[in-house]
Amino acid sequence: QLQLQESGPGLVKPSETLSLTCTVSGASISSSGYYWGWIRQPPGKGLEWIGSMYYSGGTHYNPSLKSRVTISEDTSKNQFSLKLSSATATDTAVYYCAIIKRWLLAEGWFDPWGQGTLVTVSS
Amino acid sequence: QSVLTQPPSVSGAPGQRVTISCTGSSSNIGAGFDVHWYQQLPGTTPKLLMYGNINRPSGVPDRFSASKSGTSASLAITGLQAEDEADYYCQSYDSSLSGYVVFGGGTKLTVL
């Protein structure tokens, strides 16, 4: 059974880089046809797609965050990670990792999701 | 401001039917991209509810159905139950700005 688990600091200072890791079990992140991605949800607000990485390493980012986001993989640990630079209070959110199991990102839906982790940006 | 527009809230009594709309444009739903729906129960992770416009994952009751037409999509829930009280989100893909995944702003369903 495919499962995802986010991990990382729960508190980040303004202007610093927010870094999270998603550990995958039940499948290899090198599996073809999978997009490994991140979604966030500010407290009391809706969902926002941050970006997704294809199994071969190609990345797709939300245009509104593209200049600050990097998604990368560590195949040796079966993990993928998120880095969001120059964090501000508006980046405070629950961050989810989630998978799209389709050959095309445009066709895909997110399933399953990790349980999410709250990251607060504050001094 | 979300690319996909949903009503902030809907409500219905137990047993009734409710619908939640998801309105897009010619660069997303109207361009033929599929619409998917998620249910987020209070304090929990979003869960896939419908995919590919009309399909239910295994385990989702057939009280839930969805459709798509033109630049809009809708989710229908019949035989409303108290356990359906949750936030619902639509998701699609937008071809502008080199393409990106988009969510609706979410709809809070209250069971009266």
Minimum Cα–Cα distance from B27: chain A residue = A106
Contact call for residues B22 and B5 (beta carbons, < 8 A): yes
Confidence of residue B31 (pLDDT cuts 50, 70, 90): very high
Q: What are phi and psi of A114, to 5 degrees?
A: -75, 175
Q: What average pLDDT does the segment B72-84 reach? A: 98
Instruction: Give the C-alpha separation, A100 to A92, whole Å.
Output: 24
pLDDT tens, position by position, A78-87: 999 999 999 9
Arithmetic mean of pLDDT over chain B: 97
Could B104 and A96 be called an inter-chain contact, meaning their C-beta atoms sit closer than 8 Å? no
Kindly list the residues of chain B whose beta carbon comes within 8 Å of any beta carbon in chain A: 2, 33-34, 36, 38, 45-48, 51-52, 57, 89, 91, 93, 95, 97-106
Biggest alpha carbon distance in chain B? 44
